[in-house]
Chain A
């Protein structure tokens, strides 16, 4: 399919996502088209990572409904599709948050992701910047229907820099793509299959290749965390500042996470989708030396505070450079106001009927069209 698209003239494709129409270049996936619109219409992505080739399609949180396949063939697609791995066609109509099927399926996926998750956020270093937390906040239920013992794994030491918590892993495979595409050799992978599949190194080999630290940045949950930052602080107590240094192996552009003048952690800079930022089209992965060894402010040229999304818990610590998220709800609703839970006046005739003047008890008929 993808090949056929590329051969055609590079005219732009029109795609409508949740009633918002946008023109994108052929070969764009639905997810990336939705990201170009931004705001609420963007499906969440736990496994897809635009800078890692081959990623995506696994977590099923980005499922969307295709209401019309293309202008040429306007039939709807029979199943929900993974938006991160489905390319747009000209005239495609996609429903994301306006589709009940999608909301239902996404709630299901979140429930599946959480049934075996330890929910140890209070002691997890990822808490505060965890994609799974955000996802469950948005789509999860308040309680669980799972009544069984949660899955556990034997502890595995995978090296001096990275801490592995297999119980938190959602098997997005991002870290294996990092190891394949960034480091000189992949020494870890997925062992076993099904619900006992786990990330592990081959016979307890340590992961210490250069650039392997980027696995921490791509991990959507707290499965892979920075050993040098382990239990040092909560991220919302630290202050992120952009900094750079002249690094011979990487771009050297990082975010320093400080408490006072102390640098507690170094990460790559993230964009609004939680992915590593690109510079001139190249992803700004950082090397292990920058990440793990340069923990003094004197190592870095500090540029200023990092822009943090206003919705993030991290933004509570400082008030500079906040980013207001894009609001799209009015467009999605087609000009209608969203139906608010408390505001029943616009949709109900209750207030127009004088109940005391009725001869008997009020019935549903009383309220029909204000009669």
Chain B
């Protein structure tokens, strides 16, 4: 059983209410930080913990906080990115729904470390019921003196405000989020300047994911060094994984980054194996924008080592044979799934969510979607596959924000690993409408237990 730091109390009834949360040891980190530590000591503790951003990029949080410019007389802001819109990712939703006080506690501690007396939660518009949960929790925290002026007599003031997004995926990009928070059209800004220098209302700002901020609580409670002992190498601590797709038990799991991908998919403690006795075909290990991996490369790296659920191991082999930890949206595809259709669905999503500001993303995403739809419907051409590859190559790296990359990577990886399936679609235009390609060359390296096998 892996260690749980964030969700260990999630099962307790009414933990979302202040009284229960406090009784279970909540707000200890705020007491510890505000009474016994200086803001710099808190940052130092986060640096020691090796905590990496949980939103997708995996940038070291302590270093990010260290970059924050601190000019005199200019307010600094902490913004929590709760605009979780990546297909396959739903970990923040779980966290905020069941443990709203954990987020608020983490925010107060983080805001104290950053010296920001105003913190914002930018929450996805579709999570409207969570706004109510958070508002209630903020109200309770305020009533009990955890928010407001002079918290715990330390002289530190903090207020938390919630802002709802209007349903745009692009507003999860940090600078687009800040634009939206300022009340403007959510177009990503051109960097530099980075938010750490010029963020919200041109003031230094730190934008962190919900899970990152929540992870500050156990770090302060247990100490950064203690936290860093969990996990392997530079992947320290625990990570929430939202597993979905063709597995037996979908849901949010907290892993301590020491287990292998194989254990995560097949053990009963986590996903419980592939549903309906089918076989594993492919998996997107970190949310829709990271490269898809076929079963053989997912469980073992190109070097033949077992692939672990860590930032490094999932990225082992680069994009040629690896993928990314991303935001932890673990999407599993079994042998009944069609990779072409799947890639088309993602391309459609990115076309719809492109902000339209820069040309490669605005025009390229729509073009890719149209070509993929043709191939899916048996109207494609072989040259279309090469064209897709060329389009994604010209989008990647040439856009203002990472959405262009996020749109290009899934297409690139699907063609890289599943080219034969694309070609089969082109060569069998009628067959591909009736049946799927199946498992083909990406044989499930694991033999399923006897008796559970269901014929395809």
Interface of A toward B, CB cutoff 8 Å:
1-3, 56-61, 63, 79-80, 82, 85, 104-105, 108-109, 111-113, 115-116, 145-146, 148, 151, 170-171, 173, 189-190, 192-197
Contact = CB atoms under 8 A, between A and B. Distances in A.
Given A58-B357, A58-B400, A80-B398, A197 B362 contact: yes
Interface stretch (B116-124, B226-234, B301-309, B347-355): B347-355
Given A61-B359, A80-B398, 19 more contacts: A1-B193, A2-B192, A57-B190, A58-B357, A59-B358, A60-B399, A79-B397, A82-B400, A108-B360, A108-B393, A108-B395, A112-B363, A171-B356, A171-B359, A189-B185, A193-B168, A195-B366, A196-B356, A197-B356
A190 B192 contact: no
Contact of B363 (A61, A80, A116, A192): A116
Nearest to B186: A193
Contacts of B352: 194
Contacts of A116: 363, 366
A105 B364 CA distance: 13
B398 A105 contact: yes
B325 interface: no
A197 B362 CA distance: 9
B370 interface: yes
A23 to B, nearest CB: 23
Interface in B327-367: 351-360, 362-367
A58 B366 CA distance: 17
A56 B190 CA distance: 9
A196 B359 CA distance: 12
A193 B353 CA distance: 8
Contacts of B397: 79-80
Contact of A195 (B192, B363, B399): B363
Contacts of A145: 387
A196 B369 CA distance: 14
Nearest to A192: B356
Interface string B181-216: 000010000101100010000000000000000000
Contacts of A112: 359-360, 362-364, 367, 394
Contacts of A111: 394
Contacts of A192: 356
A55 to B, nearest CB: 10
A111 B394 CA distance: 10
Contact of B356 (A56, A63, A82, A190): A190
A189 B398 CA distance: 25
A82 B190 CA distance: 9
A109 B351 contact: no
A84 to B, nearest CB: 9
17 contacts: A1-B192, A56-B190, A58-B358, A58-B359, A58-B400, A60-B360, A60-B398, A60-B400, A108-B393, A108-B395, A108-B398, A109-B360, A148-B367, A170-B359, A194-B362, A195-B354, A195-B365
B398 A193 contact: no
A82 B359 CA distance: 13
A109 to B, nearest CB: 6
A352 B185 CA distance: 66
B351 A194 contact: yes
Given A60-B398, A80-B398, A193 B367 contact: no
A1 B192 CA distance: 7
A58 B363 CA distance: 13
A59 B399 CA distance: 9
A88 to B, nearest CB: 13
B170 interface: yes
Contacts of B353: 193-194
A146 B390 CA distance: 13
Contacts of A194: 351-356, 362, 365-366
Given A112-B363, A115-B367, A116-B363, A193 B387 contact: no
Nearest to A104: B394
Contact of B197 (A3, A59, A113): A3
A112 B354 CA distance: 14
Contact of A193 (B192, B354, B366): B354
Contacts of B360: 60, 108-109, 112
Q: Which of B351, B360, B365, B397 has the most CB of A within 10 A?
A: B360
Given A58-B400, A108-B394, A145-B387, A193 B355 contact: yes
Contact of B394 (A3, A79, A105, A151): A105
Contacts of B363: 112-113, 115-116, 195
Nearest to B194: A1
A60 B358 contact: yes
Contacts of A196: 356
A59 B359 CA distance: 5
B133 to A, nearest CB: 29
Contacts of A173: 357
B60 to A, nearest CB: 18
Interface string B389-429: 00001110111100000000000000000000000000000
Q: Which of A111, A151, A193 has the most CB of B within 10 A?
A: A193
Contacts of B365: 194-195
Q: Which 6 A-B pairs have the closest CB atoms?
A: A108-B394, A197-B356, A57-B190, A112-B363, A194-B354, A195-B366
Contacts of A59: 358-359
A57 B400 contact: yes
Contacts of A108: 360, 393-395, 398
A230 to B, nearest CB: 27
A115 B366 CA distance: 10
A3 B192 CA distance: 11
A235 to B, nearest CB: 25
A105 B359 CA distance: 12
Nearest to B189: A57
Contacts of B370: 148
B359 A109 contact: yes
A195 B355 contact: no
A240 to B, nearest CB: 30
Interface in B368-383: 370
B351 A113 contact: no
Interface string B68-109: 000000000000000000000000000000000000000000
Contacts of A82: 190, 400
B356 A195 contact: yes
Contacts of A79: 397-398
A112 B192 CA distance: 25
Q: Which of B355, B358, B362, B363 has the most CB of A within 10 A?
A: B363
Contacts of A170: 359
A115 B368 CA distance: 12
Given A190-B185, A194-B355, A195-B363, A109 B400 contact: no
Nearest to B198: A3
A320 to B, nearest CB: 38
A190 B179 CA distance: 15
B359 A113 contact: yes
Contacts of B170: 193
A56 B353 CA distance: 22
A94 to B, nearest CB: 16
A190 B364 CA distance: 19
B175 to A, nearest CB: 12
A192 B362 CA distance: 12
A61 B363 CA distance: 14
A44 to B, nearest CB: 13
A192 B354 CA distance: 10
